[in-house]
Amino acid sequence: MSQSQITMYSADWCGDCRRSKRLMDELNVAYTLIDTEEDKTAAEKVREINGGMQSIPVIVFVDGTHLTEPSDNELKAKLTLLGII
């Protein structure tokens, strides 16, 4: 899977973001990381996806779906459903 197929909107200070990044790294899942603190257009995209909320991480998948602040189990289930792991 290429990195462009999963995008994670994240910030360094976000504990949930660090947890999701750690899980994806442990599972050897490639993803593109976009820092919403450095890229203000990314922060706008997060609000658009979340109906105005700034909650992160937002993980966008190749099928057009996304997860916001997923638990490890939710993220694993989605990756399994997509055949990534």
Tell me the CATH number at 65. Answer: 3.40.30.10
The pTM for the full model equals: 0.92
**Parent domain of 18:** 3-81
Burial of 46 (0-12, 13-18, 19+ CB in 10 A): buried
- Residues of the chain below pLDDT 50: 1-3
Total domain count, the chain: 1
Q: What is the pLDDT of residue 1?
A: 40
The H or E element that residue 9 is part of is strand 7-10
φ, ψ of residue 14 to 5 degrees: the values are -85, 115
In terms of DSSP bridges, do strands 7-10 and 58-60 run parallel, antiparallel, or are they unpaired? antiparallel
Token pair belonging to 25: 């790294």
| pLDDT number for residue 4 | 57
